[in-house]
Structure 1
Amino acid sequence: MAVTLSDLVVKSISNLPKNEGKAFLASQLKLTCLEDDDNLRNAIYVDFLYDNLMFAVEKGFTWRQVCTVVTFCDGILKDSKDKDITDALQFLKLQSFELADVLGQRNFPIYTDFVFQTYLRHFKLFKYVFTQERDILKPTVSLRVETPADPGSMKQSKPELVWEYEKQYESIQREEAEHANKRLEEKAKTLETAEKQAKERLEKISGVQEPLSKEKVGELIQEIIGSYSSLVVEKVKCNIADVQEDLEFKLARTRLPRPQALGPPPRFNLKPKTPVPTPKKTPPKSPKSERKKSGNSRSKSRNK
């Protein structure tokens, strides 16, 4: 039995967005689960009717003509899905007289051209979809689930944010330790090389036995100063590199978004303590001073 829709239903479908319009059309046809893989045939069927309906609406067909188009496309699909294309053309020829009377001279050739460009061009594909049953492949996998032996261990679990934070924090600390060890090795090699060069210069200077001129003494002094200066410079460079890398790792730890469950960072105090003034301690009075005060008071009383 061919589908018949009322003018009100067609108007409602055309005024809705595409997905909502197709859903409303499916409800009128009493079809459900269009998005399920097991019902792809229903989804294609609804798409076919919806495309024909909207084509007629967009071309300015009257609402009665739109309803006729839906009934016609549903009939040609159902009557010719298990036949050859010649039978489909014969059905179209037989129905063309009645269809032409409804659509008129303007809309009839427009719609028949649309049918040739869509349905008849892909006739074999439509025939295959609506006659051949799909092989539904549903993999079945047996999965073994092992529960923890001690359910009490689940109490030690952490929220995901806390776990991620601690994991990143430990990664930064581990990287910092690796860089520190590497810096110590490089620092030892650099200082060893600088000390070796300074020692070689001193040995060269100490081996001089001939009388030295004033200019030669000045050159030797400059070499001694240069040897010690280069050693100091290398030490300063190593210390600067250490401080710079330490600051970079501290900033990396600070930039980590700390979960609220861990509370404020230990390096910050939300409520700084107000300093309490320390009471001044008065030195204890010596017995001599007490005697002097008592003697002065007695002399004053006698004078009176």
Structure 2
Amino acid sequence: MKRDEGIERLSACFHWTEFDGDDKRQYLHQQFVYDNVMFAVTRGLSWSAVGQVANITKDLLPKLKGLKTSEVICLAKDHLSLIEPRLSTAHHAVLLDYIVKTYVPHQRLYQAFLNGETGLRRIRCELEIECPPHPWPLSEGTDAVELEQQRDLKELSLAQSRKEAEIKELKETAEAQMMAALRASLESLPCEGWMSRQEVEELLRSFLQSQGDIIMEALMKEVCLTEDLLSQKSQLVQRHLTNQPVLPGKNCVVTPTKSKKKRS
């Protein structure tokens, strides 16, 4: 007898009121009971026990709604203990194991079934796997040491450009300050009359002093920027010398050894 025929014949033996009006849920309920009944038959249980298994599993499934796995196991164990005459320890353990293994791996599906969520939509995602690009031949690659040197030179070039831009801005600022000092000195000259020699000398001394201070400050800042750039270059050269591989045959000193003669 085929499975569908067996489920149909089993359904005629009970009143399926648990999911009345919902054919899909009712049919899944009948499948659950049928599978457990057929397992009991294959394990050699008496027909009386098989009938009780059908009643127990029919009553059991609706009660599993919202239960955790541990609670499901306890409830199934209690229901199997109601079978009379009492099942042997082996039959009880086998039936419990089958019910648990049938339900637990599909617990989320059964819970959706028990909660009436049978109209869920299936969402399908397509995953496209692309092969990695084929690597270029090693002969067309760049040596690791050479690549590092190129990166360092590029970094040094950028640093030099920044320092040169800062020095240029520094000179422009100094020139602007000198012109401002010159205008201030010219504006301090009297519009009418004459100035004494002492006043002229004092004005020139003040002007030259301010110009000298501006030039000295600009030169000191320029020296600091230049020293920073030279320090970076020195560190780069030192690093390249440190990382430079030693070729075989170089820096090797052979120490001659004297052979000892044995005395006869």
TM class, shorter-chain normalised? 0.3 to 0.5
More helix by share: 1
Scaled by the length of structure 1, the TM-score of the pair is 0.34
